[in-house]
């Protein structure tokens, strides 16, 4: 059984899915937020493996929220 996580507010959301792999657990992160131009979505895999599912979910949510904060602040444009 794998676990997942989700955190959201009115105009954005971050979700994670964790998979068992050789050496630990990896985490895929999904982000989305509403803009005047429409809904923006992006997904990416966390760069490291984690020893437990719990650590993978929590770090994935942190990474996704940081990514969204930078994107919404205009730090980068995708």
User: pLDDT per residue over 25-62, tens digit each?
Assistant: 999 999 999 988 899 999 999 999 999 999 999 999 99
Q: Which two tokens stand for residue 66?
A: 């940081």
**In this structure, what token pair is assigned to residue 1?**
């059984």
For residues 36 and 55, the answer to whether their CB atoms sit within 8 Å is: no
Give 2's DSSP letter. Answer: -
pLDDT tens, 55-75?
A: 999 999 999 999 999 988 888
- Tell me: pLDDT of 1 over 60: no
Residue 29 per-residue DSSP state: E
Pair 45, 60: CB distance under 8 Å: no
CATH class of 4-72: alpha beta
| Listed residue (63, 68, 58) closest to 45, CA to CA | 63
Residue 16 has a pLDDT of 96
């Amino acid at each position: 059984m794998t676990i997942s996580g989700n955190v959201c507010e009115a105009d954005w959301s971050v979700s994670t899915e964790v998979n068992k792999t050789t050496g630990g657990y990896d985490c895929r992160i999904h982000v989305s937020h509403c803009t005047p131009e429409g809904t923006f979505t992006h997904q990416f895999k966390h760069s490291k493996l984690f020893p437990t599912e719990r650590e993978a979910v929590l770090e994935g949510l942190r990474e996704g929220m940081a990514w969204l904060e930078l994107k919404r602040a205009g730090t980068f444009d995708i």
